[in-house]
Structure 1
């Protein structure tokens, strides 16, 4: 009991010491809690897979808690070492008892996405990969149900057994793994992606990835309700797709208005250059370097804003089919928003150049305050980078979300 409390308190280093001194602790089970390995499997934040986001890690490392980051790395190292130690002690038991002790932590890890525990267990005891819960869901079916891509990706590290393990049928609904991919996940997993349209894209990517590993007959298999996997998907995601269409249209309309305003301003600025025209029709600042910066920045702002408008118009006129949600719509949104951001920054540069041309050399008291104020939009743009990154990753995440995580052979 004390050993389990230490693990719950993330004191894996002390737990590792106790296992070395008292090996019998590794196989002791507590009613309602399970073995120490099961307790450790619930501590998702003790492993790299349960770590905070990249942005939070970067912030902690450089700004807030550089020492705390080192402590987290040590905690994760101790937790992995403790898992290995517990697995080795369980291996000393007979196969039936070992399978029993490995089953619960393995399924817990699959539910919560702690792939490190699954890898360690299967590495020392390969038969554990065939463990299933009371509804006959194995590790990969649980990973699909709960959208744990880091667990499902372990299938890429398996040998030909992966074609057997995907044949499991659950009880009592007779769903295969592709039926489970067609179900709507819990809201906490769905909301990891911002926006209903990008959530639909993520769901379609999951369905397509799982489809690669099932047998041809499973793709059109009928469950107990008489539904194929694709029928399950369409029924479960019908409302989400409607919400995705509405979200995409609202976003595109708002961005179109902003891009149109920028295009109008950039077009007018190009016709009415600062300083007026000389007798030969050229600007009085034609030979000034700042005028060249103004002209280039204004042209970039105009062309990028027009490109943005065209991309958002293509979104508004889309058919909103499943294929559109998977590729065309996210790509259009990424390109449109990228061009919009470029046009905003270019417009700020063009405006700064114009202010410098008009007031530059003689009126520093005007140029400096105006230049300082221009920092505000740039700062707001930087604050929007995490949101923009989410949208960009949602477009690029197709090849990046799934795939082999390491060269380690699972089974």
Structure 2
């Protein structure tokens, strides 16, 4: 009985001791909570000096699972937070409350950039730890419209932390909350975002469309939406123009990226028909060659402007202005998009194509445009040289390397066939005459050898003229491409003739009972010719097309405005 009593007393003591400890712990938590809320560091300092003080400051101290850091951050106690995070463990700094938010998420919610900076100095990856509903701090800040916080966190958030779907969600949220500078940086870095859709099937353009963009831009935007399968259109009564500069930069960039997936050719005729001068100007600035495009009726945008009596559009034939006072020839002097240049083999032919465009535009504009200055005091010719400087250097290098390689081959062929001319197959008789003088094979050998020698030497001289050329801008228009075509053509003929001479020599040597050896060798000898054609056919074709077909590149296949009918009389085409 006595033992049971003593055992019961021990249990009561343990319970009372436990209750006391719990009570003491709650008391410390309460002190810590009040200190964090008020920013009273002296209280925390005294707590840290106690036996378990260092451990207590890492505890969750509220029913919502918040630490003292959560409380201090929510109250904006910057100095307190700076001192507290130096005492806390990194694990406690990263701790989440019951909602899933870290203290850093709370800082992002408050928009206090100074707090966020202090915390990131201590723990670098806080910006990449997700909070409530798996949202990153930058997304939370964007939802609440904290521009400075978003701008700061954009540089601190790892690119890998954002998934593709989250990026477009963030971009749309940024636009909705007028945070255009960060939105612009996002699209510049991730171009596919321009056409991506969020969970609500909205694009960045859809989000911008909800803003007031002014009547002229509304017309431009409606047409772009129509061709981009966007489900929004601007109201006609939007006469204000309140968007900031960064928003318009974003709009231009989004439109440009969308146009990469939409044929500008489709847009330009619709814009001309509606008299949408603003969109036409944008399109022609980006794609100067569009002024020469024709629709199904062989109408250019200027024909359509006349047809629909759009005076402002028709004026573009004389002046397509820009904020930099660039006329049409200035625009034609700019470098073509890379996807257009990539379709042409070799930098030299690319430069020739650019020159052809420039010269053709020069023919159709006023003579005064040739010497006209833009705002940068540049003439079209100066812009052409500046824009094509790298292409000119690359083209000259490409021409030299191609000519040098081909000249080496032509020299080797010339050496071989020259020696072969004095080494007759079958040898000579006692009189010094060839043994097979009257044989057809020897005649074929002699003719083929002579052809190979003449054409290989001619090829060497042609390639030498390319190497010694000045490689000036206008040389790439006709002179250098023609020489390259001529040189490659003569090199090809010399290779073929050399192989023919070799085959003829084989048949002379193996004529008597050894045709079974001569025929396979002759067949195999054709392989180098086939290999030459296989490797050089693309270049040869591109050179031929560029040098010959370029002369009629801009000539109409038939008259656009008038044509001669079956009766032989000039007939007006029906409108």
> Which TM-score band applies after superposition, normalised by the shorter structure?
0.5 to 0.7
Following superposition, the deviation at residue 151 of structure 1 comes to 5.1
Whether the 8 Å CA contact 1:201–1:326 is kept in 2: the answer is yes
Give the Cα–Cα distance (whole angstroms) in 2 for the partners of residues 378 and 277 of structure 1. Answer: 31
Asked if the contact 1:156–1:403 (Cα under 8 Å) also holds between the matched residues in 2, the reply is: no
1:341 equivalent to 2:495? Answer: no
Contact map agreement 2:462 2:486 (CA 8 A) in 1: yes
Tell me, yes or no, if the aligned pair for 1:219 and 1:228 is still in contact at 8 Å.
yes
Larger C-alpha radius of gyration, 1 or 2? Answer: 2
Indicate whether 1:364 and 2:508 are aligned: no
Residues 151/197 of structure 1: CA separation in 2 closer, same or farther (3 Å cut): farther
C-alpha distance 34-191 of structure 1, shift in aligned 2 (>3 A): same
**What SS does the aligned partner of 2:336 have?**
coil
User: 2:398 maps to what in 1?
Assistant: 247
Aligned-partner Cα distance in 1 for 2:302–2:496: 45
| 1:220 to partner: Cα distance | 1.2
3-state secondary structure, aligned to 1:212: helix
**Is 2:495–2:529's contact at 8 Å kept on the other side of the alignment?**
no
Q: Which residue of 2 is the match for residue 406 of structure 1? A: 558
**Per-residue deviation, residues 122-165 of structure 1 (Å, max 9, x unmatched):** 8xx9x6296544472566x665357x976599669969979954
Is 1:304 aligned with 2:455? yes
Q: Deviations over 1:86-134 (max 9, x none)?
A: xxxxxxxxxxxxxxxxxx9xx979x8475xx699x68xx9x62965444
1:385 is matched with 537
Equivalent pair of 2:292/2:300 in contact (CA under 8 Å): no
Deviation at 1:194, TM superposition (A): 1.1
- Unmatched 5+ residue regions in structure 1? 1-29, 41-103
Is contact 1:293-1:353 (8 Å) kept?
Answer: yes
Residue aligned with 1:175, SS: coil
Shift of 1:398: 2.8
Q: Distance in 2 between matches of 1:158 and 1:339?
A: 47
Whether 1:326 and 2:470 are equivalent positions in the alignment is no
Query: Looking at both structures, which has the greater relative contact order when contacts are Cα pairs under 8 Å and sequence separation is at least 6?
Result: 1
Distance across 1 between alignment mates of 2:264 and 2:495: 40
1:263 to partner: Cα distance: 0.2
Deviation at 1:379, TM superposition (A): 2.0
Cα distance change of structure 1 residues 271 and 143 upon mapping to structure 2, 3 Å threshold:
same
Give the alignment partner of residue 273 of structure 2, picking from 98, 106, 128: 128
Query: Would the alpha carbon gap of residues 112 and 263 (structure 1) be closer, same or farther in structure 2, given more than 3 Å must change?
Result: farther
- The structural deviation recorded for 1:246 is 1.0
For 1:209 and 1:365, the matched residues in 2 are separated by: 60
Q: Which residue of 1 aligns with 2:372?
A: 221
Q: Secondary structure at the match of 1:249?
A: helix
2: CA distance, partners of 1:194 / 1:260: 25
Unaligned 5+ residue runs, structure 2? Answer: 1-220, 230-254, 307-312, 562-572
Residues in 2 aligned to 1:405 and 1:186: alpha-carbon distance in whole angstroms: 26
Per-residue CA deviation, residues 302-356 of structure 1 (Å, 9 max, x unaligned), is 0000010000110111111112111211111110010001100110111000001
Q: Quick one: structure 1 residues 159 and 327, their matched pair in 2 at CA, closer, same or farther if it must change by over 3 Å?
A: farther
Corresponding residue pairs, total: 307
**TM-score of the aligned structures, taking structure 2 as reference length:** 0.48
CA offsets per residue over residues 350-405 of structure 1, 9 Å max, x none? Answer: 10000011102411221122122113113213323222101221222331321114
The answer as to 2:437 corresponding to 1:286 is: yes
Distance 2:475 2:301 in 1: 27
Residue in 1 that maps onto 2:420: 269
